[in-house]
Structure 1
Amino acid sequence: MTSTGEEQGAAGAGRDGPLWWDRRRSAVWDGGLAAVSAVECAVEGIDFAHEAGIPVFVGMLFGFVVGTTLVLRRRWPIAVVLIGIAVSPAAIGFLLGVVGLYTLATSEVPRRITATLTSMSLAATFVVMYLRTRGDVEADGTLVIVLSVFVAVALTVPPVLLGLYTAARRRLMESLQERAASLERELSLLADRAEERAEWARTEERTRIAREMHDVVAHRVSLMVVHAAALQAIALKDPAKAVKNAALVGDMGRQALTELREMLGVLRAEVAKPALPVPVALVGSFEDGPSLGELEALVGQSRAAGMVVELDVRGPRPSYGAEVEQTAYRVVQEALTNCHKHAPGARVVVRLAHRDGEVAMQVENGPSDGEAAEPGLPSGGNGLVGMRERVLGLGGVFVSGPTDEGGFKVSAVLPGSGRG
């Protein structure tokens, strides 16, 4: 079964026609053409009957049957064209030949077959016209040939060219529709991927905010608890030292509140801009976060809380990115917080080394002093996880675990330029 341009155009609208037609409208259209062709051929069959010396009724019936074959043009376009060529000597089937050639050109029949049948139709029409014109027109042979060629070309070439144009236009429309559908699928896929990336970025940002909140609250509040316990123990024995510890508790509380307000302020500012699919404003908070230059003050706070801390810095400090500075600070801060929670009274060593293209840090504590009381600080178990995520997120290396002496060690190495 072959397909024509009209069939292909109807395919997209759904099949609802009888037999080989895709649409009822196509069946009605072909039926109408076949009826007109049958009437035309039946009338032309009268002259054919006179010329052939057969009864008029037989000639009309023959023409009627030939004309009705046009209804098969979508199903068998080659057969319709061959019938038109076969009856051309009887001067029957003008509409049949023209429509048959047009349908053949619009179908998916190989072009070599279309060219062969077109040539055959052209030659048959020329021969018939030449023979009939030579007997009816008193003119020289050249005029007869020219007239025959003109009629043959006029009845053959235009329908074929129109059919080829229609087929090419149909293929172009199908190609454009396919490209539009493909583009729509790609856009849908890109939108899905963008949504996935946005969701991933939102999750990453929420995780980072949670780490920031944990670092700020856990470290400051842990020191406040330690100082409060010391304040309770020495309040009556050493009022001057108690006053000093109370001032330290107040300072730490204010620092914690200040950092919390800064982070909450950034979050509120981001809520005011709902058009942004990913919370990007907090990225700028790296510029305002803590840095390695504040490491001495951080260690001093732990010393003020009664911890024995040694700070060992080696190598000249180069210029690091704000993200690297804050991450290194937070690793040391969280490690010191864990020492306050789990190793009260232990000696702690904080080592910081500036090397070519990277910064290394290590916080190691010895075994806990058995005489020191546990501060009773809660632990959610997220400290080491948060440190590891920070370091690995910048392309660094993170290692933690117990030491042979019964203590604990946290080590990290960060590339100086940020993400590796």
Structure 2
Amino acid sequence: MSTTGARVPDEEADAAHAGSWSGLWWWTRRRSVALDVSLAAASALEASFEGATFAARIGIVSGLGALIGLLVGAMLVLRRRWPIAVVLVAIAVTPAQTGLILSMVGFYTLAASEVPRRLTALFAGMSGLGTMLVAFVSIESSVRHSSSRLGLPLVLAISILVAFGLTAPPVLFGLYVRARRRLVESLRDRADGLERELELLAEKALERAERARAAERARIAREMHDVVAHRVSLMVVHAAALKAVALKDPAKASASAELLGDMGRQALTELRQMLGVLRSASGTGTGDATPRAKYAGGAADPAAGEAGVDAAAEAGVEAGLGHEPDAGPSLAELAQLVQESRAAGMGVELAVEGEQRPCGRRIEATVYRVVQEALTNVRKHAVGAKAQVRLAYREAEVAVLIVNGPAEAVVATALPSGGHGLTGMRERVTAHGGGFAAGPTPDGGFRVSAMVPTAP
């Protein structure tokens, strides 16, 4: 059984509160040193006086008894390091009626330390029994010499009360201090755990917000790509045709110029609609307020800030997964889309299978964008090729297939390609839980197919 480093009353705080003082032996603060030295000095004086008195009573030199009492009382300076040793010394000198301060302070320190309670109870019982016997002998001797009529039961009761009064209060107070200190430590540990948990939750929410922002940027990039690539490619084709027929056929050139202007206006209209949706969906006038700023300064309660970050992250994730607002193209506009491609000189056929029905604006917008991007790719990479668009309404899904033949000739085109068209189509379709496939056909053409479920 080791008592090294036993922790005692909460009058001694952690070393973290010791300031710049590095500590002396087992003390962590100057105040602890001053307290223990003062108690040891008082105990030494009291034990020295009582030791001299006891030595004179039993016929020993008083100076020797005073010296022994001085050494016994000074043992109290070790109470924080070796509380059991101090208590054992106090029990040993109980028959000499010496060391009252040593006993009371020692038992308080023992009860308040991390020594098992059963040892504290054992030592307290030993001390109480010894104190009761000494008190009984002293009271009985005083009664016999004073010819008092106190009976033995009364003397025994007084002895028990004296033993209880000298032993129980310091032990009970020490147990109370020990329980209080444990409660404070548990509350501190719980507070530290909650703080760490909040920090982890905040970091997790910030990561989610970063992913949401990345998904939102990807969604905006897809929208810009679909609108700009399709319209601009048509405008480039018409501009080339306009240049070819400007001198030969002024009437056809005028019609192409008018169509070119219409397409430019349509592109601007779609861009304005998309930007308007983004602004209204953000809920604020700017997009600079990040979830990190909301967490740091937008809420006094960390839990409230955390909830705000989670809400922003979830909203951004939903937006990034393709949950656009209701504003957007529909499948009813596919015929117009095909007609625009035909007007640009491209051979396109549209076939619709199944009973036409509303499928939800988000799903219809996704299918429309797939067809739009596929036709744009045909104009870019398969000049002069014919294309077939097949739209099928099925029981629980809507499917689309775009197939084009090989290019009639290799033509240097001025239309740039970023290589993100197929990736954007796949992201749109898979965001709704659908399937997407694209690849070359055996005859040298290209095939794009997508299936989007209409049920959640």
TM-score range, shorter chain: over 0.9
1:74-120 deviations in whole A, cap 9, x for unaligned? 11111111111110111101111101111111111111111111111
Q: CA deviation at 1:16?
A: 2.8
1:257 paired residue number: 268
Aligned match of 2:382? 343
For the residues of structure 2 that align with 1:195 and 1:77, how far apart are their CA atoms? 51
Q: 1:237, CA displacement in angstroms? A: 3.2
The residue that corresponds to 1:4 in the other structure is 8
Correspondent of 2:364 among 315, 320, 325: 325
Identify the residue that residue 396 of structure 1 maps to in structure 2: 434
The answer on whether the counterparts of 2:9 and 2:178 sit within 8 Å (CA) in structure 1 is yes
Is the deviation greater in 194-203 or in 278-287?
A: 278-287
Match in the other structure for 1:70 = 76
Deviation at 1:344, TM superposition (A): 1.4
- TM-score of the pair, normalised by structure 1: 0.94
After TM superposition, the structure 1 stretch with the greater mean CA deviation from structure 2, 409-418 or 7-16, is 7-16
The residue identity in structure 1 corresponding to 2:89 is I
- Given that residues 225 and 375 in structure 1 are in contact (C-alpha distance below 8 angstroms), is that contact kept between their aligned partners in structure 2? no
Inter-CA distance 417–390: structure 2 relative to 1 (3 Å threshold): same
Does residue 105 (structure 1) correspond to residue 118 (structure 2)? The answer is: no
Question: Residues of 1 paired with 2:33 and 2:354: CA distance?
Answer: 91
Residue 94 (structure 1) aligned with residue 105 (structure 2): no
Q: CA deviation at 1:8?
A: 6.7
Note the 1:11-410 alignment, pairs <5 A: 11-13=15-17, 16-137=22-143, 138=148, 139-268=150-279, 270=282, 272-273=285-286, 274-275=288-289, 277=291, 278=312, 283=319, 285-370=324-409, 373-410=411-448
DSSP-derived class of the 2:13 partner: helix
TM-score under structure 2 length normalisation: 0.87
- Aligned-pair identity (%): 57
1:25: how far off? 2.0
Deviation of the 1:307 alpha carbon = 0.9
Q: SS of the counterpart of 1:9? A: coil
Gaps of 5+ in 2: 292-311
1:367 to 1:409, Cα distance in 2 relative to 1, 3 A: same
Q: Distance in 1 between matches of 2:11 and 2:452?
A: 67
Provide Cα deviations, 1:223-252, integer angstroms capped at 9, x if missing partner.
Answer: 111112222222333333322222221111
- Tell me if structure 1 keeps the 8 A contact 2:384–2:408: yes
The answer to whether the Cα contact below 8 Å between 2:12 and 2:32 also exists between their aligned partners in 1 is: no
How many angstroms apart in 2 are the aligned matches of 1:63 and 1:411? Answer: 101
Mapped contact 2:12–2:29 kept (Cα < 8 A)? no
CA contact 1:357–1:415 (8 Å) conserved in 2: yes
Q: 1:412 — aligned with what?
A: 450
For structure 1, the 5+ residue unaligned runs are none
> 1-side partners of 2:34 and 2:359: how far apart?
81
Distance 1:348 1:99 in 2: 99
CA distance in 2, matches of 1:255, 1:89: 109
> Does the aligned pair in 2 maintain the 1:363–1:409 contact within 8 Å?
yes
Q: Letter of the aligned partner of 1:198 in structure 2? A: A
Q: Is the 8 A contact 1:84 1:96 kept in 2?
A: yes
For 2:297, the equivalent position in structure 1 comes to none
> How much has 1:26 moved relative to structure 2?
1.4
Give the Å deviation of 1:353: 1.6
Give the aligned CA root-mean-square deviation in angstroms: 2.1
Alpha-carbon distance, 1:9 to partner:
3.0
